[in-house]
Structure 1
Amino acid sequence: MKKVSKVFYIALPIVVIMVILGAVFPTEFENLTSRIKVFVSTTFGWYYMLLMSAMVIVAIMIAFSRFGKIRLGKDHDKPDFSTVTWIGMLFSAGMGIGLVFYGAAEPLFHYIVDAPNAEVGSSAAFKDALVYSYFHWGLHIWAMYGVVALSLAFFQFRKGEPGLISSTLKPLFGDKMNGPFGTFVDVLSVFATVFGVATSLGFGAVQINGGLSHLFGIEVGFVPQTIIVIVVTGLFIMSAWSGLSRGIKYLSNTNIVLAVILLIIVIAIGPTVLIMNMFTETLGLYVQNLIGMSFKTAPLSGDNRAWLDSWTIFYWAWWLSWAPFVGMFIARVSRGRTIREFIVGVMIAPTLFIAIWYAAFGTTAGSIQDSGFDLSNFATELVLFNMFDQLPLSTILSIIAIILIASFFITSADSATFVLGMQTTRGSLTPPNTVKVAWGIAQSAVAVILLYVGGLTALQNTIIIAALPFSFIMILMIFALYKALKKEV
């Protein structure tokens, strides 16, 4: 444990205390997070919209500037992983569980329950449902991940600094980042990582529970979800123990294969022509309306502000809370790539896959809804499995989906334990297994407590709260990175 830093001994007790408070005072915990969440959403919604839009602009400007040729590492370094494996790793760490959880449910909600712009159930609402799904999961997220990861990779592999968020701020604050201020920044990053990842683990447990209930009649509730978290915790700790180049690499490749198989089957047995037509048109609408959606704040009473808070602001906060974890992980697996190659790969490949994924699952769900089978009556975690019931090969599809969710679950948690290990061992690229196990147990405990105190509501509240403090650090990272890049050319 010689590698362990002060960050570990400060951050872990804070997380443990919050777990205990959540277990002892569940009602008070949920009420408190709800009040804070409402305050943050209504007060800082405009800020989240501006920040995420700025990330897209910054990423594009850096990629196509004179900095684009700079290599993330020494000039002779080559990438550690093949392009396919690299994309699989960043994609699995970046959003795996959520994509399966919301793939059919989100477009269906926007179409049938609460449309952002058009009349509910209309053709315009159907198209808007896909466009906003692309928006919530596309360029903005990956630009933000890309900027954070770029800063970390540049300072770690080009400048030889530890792989810590605090190290990226040295161009602005110098050696002060080696003291209490740097420790504070890293503790804040750990806090955001634990709660951001715990939220996804909660979503994963809820949907695996839903799938098992749908197939085998297993009860849906806190106890089976806790058992799922415990079982998967054991699996991802085993994977984390095997190391980055084995466990996470193999899991990431498995995730991509399973996701592509599931996607191809849905396109083939679903309304194929409609899927491809909707994909083509809504992708164009997404590009056409990107600027307007990026700056929408719903300032007036008739602007459906509740929808914006529940969806766009929630998503922006969720992705921001994931930024330290995903950024650090993407940075770790991206050594040897040029800045231009890195940003283009991080932004474009996942966005295109997400668009075709949502087009396939969202169009299929909408088509089934239009046929007379009401999918909107089902809970979010059950929409996907009830959609499969209306298709051929339904049992096979459900089994593949459950395995994929579990695999994404393990990969995300595995990646997070590695990153949390780095953050609390002074940026070590090989954090001790004991540290990774400690964080694996801690983040799973947080997921269980959040499920206990309020299910998905508590999960969503916590995300929005955890994201705000780290967002200010992210702005400083951009200025520090620009200052450092100018010295390179």
Structure 2
Amino acid sequence: MSDQFATDHEIGENNVTIMGFDIHNPVFAVSALLVILFVAGTLMMPAEAKSILDAAKSFSINNFDWLFMSASNIFILFCFAIMILPTGKIKIGGEDATTEFSLPSWFAMLFAAGMGIGLMFWSVAEPVAYYTDWWGTPFNVDPKTAEGAEMAMAATMFHWGFHPWAIYAIVGLSLAFFAFNKGMPLTIRSAFYPIFGERVWGRIGDIIDVLAVLATIFGLATSLGLGAQQASSGLHFLFDTPDSITTQILIIVAVTSVAIISVVRGLEGGVKVLSNINMMLALILLLFVLLVGPTLTILSYIGSTSIGYLENIIPLSNWIGREDDKFFHGWTVFYWAWWISWSPFVGLFIARISKGRTVREFISAVLVVPVAVTVVWMAVFGGSALEQTMSNVGELANGIGSVSLAMFQMLENLPFATISSFIAIFLVLVFFITSSDSGSLVIDSITAGGKLDPPVPQRVFWAAMEGAIAIALLYGGGKEALSALQAGAIATGLPFTVVLLVMCVSLYKGLNAELKPAS
């Protein structure tokens, strides 16, 4: 191994005195304090908090759409380049490194952490929203037309395809490489050692890690609130239980409790088990909708969605001369900022479970395989929903009334609706637990200085904090507060876009040095 980036942290010397990352380190203290202040401020002044954060979100999206779009394109090209180049043969952890998890378990964990709950939430609602012009159509295509249906599926796939997974892949590979090949702590700052040198262990590194913690916990708390709303809507749909703040809070308490148990059990006994359960349930639900729905039509959507996605990926990636501002800013730029704000969480988690994989294997699995699975998922659920909408069947024929109800409104028009809806609710909750669980492990690792096995009480603290933030915001501010929190996550994506671009340069320098013989 080249010693170009050798550091005391590589061999463990001065780790305590230089890094000092336990529950008393600056990253933990500053992150916890900022989170508490944010929650307190939002509870006391939800409208004002929403106004400030919405302004930050609008500023980020309207003034830096070019940065989000061009950077996301660069990330895809960079990923394919390092996969094809000789850097692709480098093994994470060195030549003698072995994998911790089987390929199916590894894939299940990275997929569940990366997108699982989002696919449950948007796979029905998003295509129908574009088709019916609920909030803008791509390229101003006429809604409720055959062309509109094709573009609805292509645009949905665009938002869940190569771009987000390229973002995750860069963060995940950077962290895995510098942690397992260079012996540095598994934390965001380590990925910048080739750029900043020893300064990453000082204030620059503190700022990077604090931003990562805030982006992660904001994103998780928002997802917790949205997931609770979907589960609450599903329970109301099935059992006529109150679809209220109280129900949502009870759901969050239950989910957080299970997540804490899972977090205490660790990766092997917690996240891995739940992720495998996720994938099995998701497969069962997918096969059910495929078989009892319009099977031949759904199968045709797999091909047409793939072709439509590939045909439109370049036009949809272009930001110059776009006239469909409502769609472009309201959906695409929003999504790119959202994925970037989530990248510290998903990337660090993927890094943690990927030792022993080659760069080529890593990029293939993280970038290519999930996209293929997502095409099938979107074709089955989005295609079924579009068919119902176009055929004037059920509530979806009237357009999107409630995003959180869309999945259940689609299932209502299939056989065994009660059973499938119950499975969908359970699946949302389990996806939700794995996201909270893996997110807590990631935050814990960052605030403990990149330690792979931080203290259990610290894991419990962060898992509980995620639930507490979501509960406080639901109770104190309702939709206003959740919207404010979501806007905060989007605003966090702006500085992290620059961080990720710098990370690409740093990763290339590290990989290139690894190819050179040790001097």
Verify same fold: TM over 0.5.
yes
The alpha-carbon deviation at position 295 of structure 1 amounts to: 1.7
Native 8 Å contact 1:450 1:458 kept in 2? no
Give TM-score, length-normalised by structure 1: 0.97
The equivalent position to 1:458 in structure 2, one of 484, 493, 515, is: 484
Native 8 Å contact 1:298 1:304 kept in 2? no
Question: Does residue 39 in structure 1 map to residue 59 in structure 2?
Answer: yes
The alpha-carbon deviation at position 140 of structure 1 amounts to: 0.7
Q: For residues 367-415 of structure 1, what are the alpha-carbon distances to aligned partners after superposition, in whole Å with 9 as ceiling and x for unaligned?
A: 1112223412530000111111111010111011001000000000000
Task: Work out the CA distance in 2 between the residues paired with 1:274 and 1:225.
Answer: 36
Task: Work out the CA distance in 1 between the residues paired with 2:406 and 2:428.
Answer: 14
Task: Work out the CA distance in 1 between the residues paired with 2:243 and 2:116.
Answer: 22
Corresponding position of 1:356? 376
The equivalent position to 1:333 in structure 2, one of 350, 353, 370, is: 353
Q: Which residues in structure 2 correspond to 1:171-210 (within 5 Å)?
A: 171-210=194-233
Question: Does residue 115 in structure 1 map to residue 128 in structure 2?
Answer: no
Corresponding position of 1:429? 452
One-letter amino acid matched to 1:107: P
Native 8 Å contact 2:98 2:356 kept in 1? yes
Task: Work out the CA distance in 1 between the residues paired with 2:191 and 2:352.
Answer: 14
Task: Work out the CA distance in 1 between the residues paired with 2:307 and 2:414.
Answer: 28
Question: Does residue 482 in structure 1 map to residue 508 in structure 2?
Answer: yes
The alpha-carbon deviation at position 298 of structure 1 amounts to: 5.4
Native 8 Å contact 1:30 1:453 kept in 2? no
SS at match of 2:492: helix
The equivalent position to 2:101 in structure 1, one of 81, 89, 98, is: 81
Task: Work out the CA distance in 1 between the residues paired with 2:21 and 2:485.
Answer: 34
One-letter amino acid matched to 1:460: Q
Residues 305/2 of structure 1: CA separation in 2 closer, same or farther (3 Å cut): closer
Native 8 Å contact 1:297 1:305 kept in 2? no
Corresponding position of 1:387? 410
Corresponding position of 2:36? 16
Task: Work out the CA distance in 1 between the residues paired with 2:127 and 2:463.
Answer: 33
Corresponding position of 1:3? 22
Corresponding position of 1:317? 337
Residues 37/267 of structure 1: CA separation in 2 closer, same or farther (3 Å cut): same
The alpha-carbon deviation at position 454 of structure 1 amounts to: 5.2
One-letter amino acid matched to 1:444: G
Q: Which residues in structure 2 correspond to 1:25-36 (within 5 Å)?
A: 25-36=45-56
SS at match of 1:243: helix
Task: Work out the CA distance in 2 between the residues paired with 1:377 and 1:347.
Answer: 31
Give TM-score, length-normalised by structure 2: 0.91
The alpha-carbon deviation at position 459 of structure 1 amounts to: 4.4
The equivalent position to 1:157 in structure 2, one of 152, 171, 180, is: 180
Task: Work out the CA distance in 2 between the residues paired with 1:351 and 1:229.
Answer: 30
The equivalent position to 1:258 in structure 2, one of 281, 295, 301, is: 281
Residues 319/2 of structure 1: CA separation in 2 closer, same or farther (3 Å cut): closer
Q: Which range moves more in the overlay, 453-462 or 211-220? A: 453-462
Task: Work out the CA distance in 2 between the residues paired with 1:85 and 1:276.
Answer: 27
Q: Which range moves more in the overlay, 207-216 or 374-383? A: 374-383
The alpha-carbon deviation at position 223 of structure 1 amounts to: 2.3
Question: Does residue 280 in structure 1 map to residue 300 in structure 2?
Answer: no
The equivalent position to 2:424 in structure 1, one of 401, 405, 410, is: 401
SS at match of 2:99: coil
Task: Work out the CA distance in 1 between the residues paired with 2:218 and 2:483.
Answer: 14
Q: Which range moves more in the overlay, 461-470 or 243-252? A: 461-470
SS at match of 2:64: helix
The alpha-carbon deviation at position 60 of structure 1 amounts to: 0.3
Task: Work out the CA distance in 1 between the residues paired with 2:221 and 2:254.
Answer: 15
Task: Work out the CA distance in 2 between the residues paired with 1:200 and 1:267.
Answer: 27
Native 8 Å contact 1:237 1:414 kept in 2? yes
The alpha-carbon deviation at position 471 of structure 1 amounts to: 1.9
Question: Does residue 96 in structure 1 map to residue 116 in structure 2?
Answer: yes
Task: Work out the CA distance in 2 between the residues paired with 1:339 and 1:480.
Answer: 15
Task: Work out the CA distance in 1 between the residues paired with 2:208 and 2:406.
Answer: 40
Task: Work out the CA distance in 1 between the residues paired with 2:283 and 2:153.
Answer: 19
Residues 457/308 of structure 1: CA separation in 2 closer, same or farther (3 Å cut): farther
One-letter amino acid matched to 1:88: A
SS at match of 1:161: coil
Native 8 Å contact 2:349 2:442 kept in 1? yes
Q: For residues 269-301 of structure 1, what are the alpha-carbon distances to aligned partners after superposition, in whole Å with 9 as ceiling and x for unaligned?
A: 1111111112201201211221111123554xx
The alpha-carbon deviation at position 445 of structure 1 amounts to: 2.7
Corresponding position of 2:328? 308
Question: Does residue 239 in structure 1 map to residue 258 in structure 2?
Answer: no
One-letter amino acid matched to 1:292: P
Task: Work out the CA distance in 2 between the residues paired with 1:206 and 1:159.
Answer: 43
The alpha-carbon deviation at position 463 of structure 1 amounts to: 2.4
One-letter amino acid matched to 1:134: M
How many residues are matched? 486
- Stretches of structure 1 lacking an aligned partner (at least 5 in a row): none
Native 8 Å contact 1:49 1:297 kept in 2? no
The alpha-carbon deviation at position 251 of structure 1 amounts to: 0.4
Question: Does residue 220 in structure 1 map to residue 243 in structure 2?
Answer: yes
One-letter amino acid matched to 1:3: D
SS at match of 2:186: coil
The equivalent position to 1:62 in structure 2, one of 79, 82, 98, is: 82
Native 8 Å contact 1:149 1:331 kept in 2? yes
Task: Work out the CA distance in 2 between the residues paired with 1:450 and 1:475.
Answer: 33
Q: For residues 399-455 of structure 1, what are the alpha-carbon distances to aligned partners after superposition, in whole Å with 9 as ceiling and x for unaligned?
A: 110010000000000000000000000101011111111111222233234445352
Identical amino acids, percent of aligned pairs: 40
The alpha-carbon deviation at position 214 of structure 1 amounts to: 0.4
SS at match of 2:449: coil
Corresponding position of 1:267? 290
Task: Work out the CA distance in 1 between the residues paired with 2:320 and 2:255.
Answer: 39
Quote the RMSD (CA, aligned, Å). 1.5
Task: Work out the CA distance in 1 between the residues paired with 2:262 and 2:305.
Answer: 39
